[in-house]
């Protein structure tokens, strides 16, 4: 079996840390817990990330970067169902590639009172609002977007052992449906 590249190792650590941060919170997730989950020693993990704060920042920076990339990718599309579909499909790809990020995304959006992640919450919220072309005062739209993200995160976790090509269209459909757009009719 070929050895993982540095980038593959970092991606594995970041995704695993994101999952644990989402599940247990930043304060309750220890470096040892992350090291155990990725099969590293605590010392080995600290060699790659010198502190839990550095690892937390790498995870959050990665999550913000992913959301900004999605927002940028759909920026030229007009608001509406087509843009929402493209955004959802990009989020599905993210969920399949980095499932921990989707779980963390939802937990971050739910931790608005945590001052240490407030800048990340704002950046992720801005990127999501931009990607979905959502007005800040449109509560119904905001709830549908969070519902779509929640549906995607839960469905992706339950389908983790299935081939991505099999589940991708299903994940996109369930997430898109949560946005409340009518389904296209077949002629």
Distances, alpha carbon 26 to alpha carbons 104, 106, 181, in Å: 10, 14, 36
Distances, alpha carbon 169 to alpha carbons 19, 73, 103, 165, in Å: 23, 20, 20, 8
pTM for this entry: 0.87
Q: How many CA atoms lie within 13 A of 32 on its CB side?
A: 1
Percent of residues, the chain, with pLDDT higher than 90: 57
151, 178 Cβ separation under 8 angstroms: yes
State residue 112's pLDDT score. Answer: 46
37, 23 Cβ separation under 8 angstroms: no
Distances, alpha carbon 145 to alpha carbons 26, 140, 169, 179, in Å: 24, 9, 18, 6
pLDDT, one tens digit for every residue, the chain (187 residues): 677 788 888 889 999 999 898 888 888 899 999 999 999 899 999 999 999 999 999 999 999 999 999 999 999 999 999 999 999 999 999 999 888 888 888 777 666 456 677 788 888 889 999 999 998 889 999 899 989 998 998 888 888 889 989 999 999 999 999 999 877 665 5
User: For the chain, percent helix, then strand, then coil, each to nearest 5?
Assistant: 75, 0, 25
CA dist., res. 169 & res. 155, Å (int): 12
What torsion, rounded to 10 degrees, do the Cα atoms 180, 113, 69, 57 define? Answer: -150
CA dist., res. 122 & res. 183, Å (int): 32
Percent of residues, the chain, with pLDDT higher than 70: 94
70, 87 Cβ separation under 8 angstroms: yes
Q: CA 97, 176, 105 angle in degrees (round to 5)?
A: 45
Other CB atoms within 10 Å distance of the CB of residue 104: 29
Q: pLDDT tens across 120-160, in order? A: 888 888 999 999 999 888 999 989 998 999 899 888 888 88
């Amino acid at each position: 079996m070929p050895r993982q590249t540095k980038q593959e190792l970092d991606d594995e650590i970041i995704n695993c840390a994101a999952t644990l941060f989402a599940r247990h919170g930043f304060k309750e997730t220890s470096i040892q817990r992350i090291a155990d989950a990725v099969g590293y020693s605590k010392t080995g993990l600290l060699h790659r990330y010198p502190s839990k704060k550095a690892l937390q920042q790498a995870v959050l920076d990665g999550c913000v970067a992913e959301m900004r990339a999605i927002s940028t990718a759909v920026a030229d599309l007009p608001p509406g169902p087509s843009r929402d579909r493209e955004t959802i499909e990009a989020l599905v790809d993210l969920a399949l590639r980095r499932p921990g990020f989707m779980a963390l995304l939802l937990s971050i959006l739910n931790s608005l009172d945590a001052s240490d992640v407030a800048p990340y919450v704002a950046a992720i919220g801005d990127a999501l609002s931009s990607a979905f072309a959502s007005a800040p005062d449109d509560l119904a739209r905001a709830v549908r977007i969070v519902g779509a993200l929640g549906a995607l995160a839960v469905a992706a976790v339950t389908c983790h052992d299935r081939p991505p090509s099999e589940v991708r269209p299903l994940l996109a459909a369930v997430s898109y449906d949560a946005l409340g757009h009518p389904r296209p009719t077949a002629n």
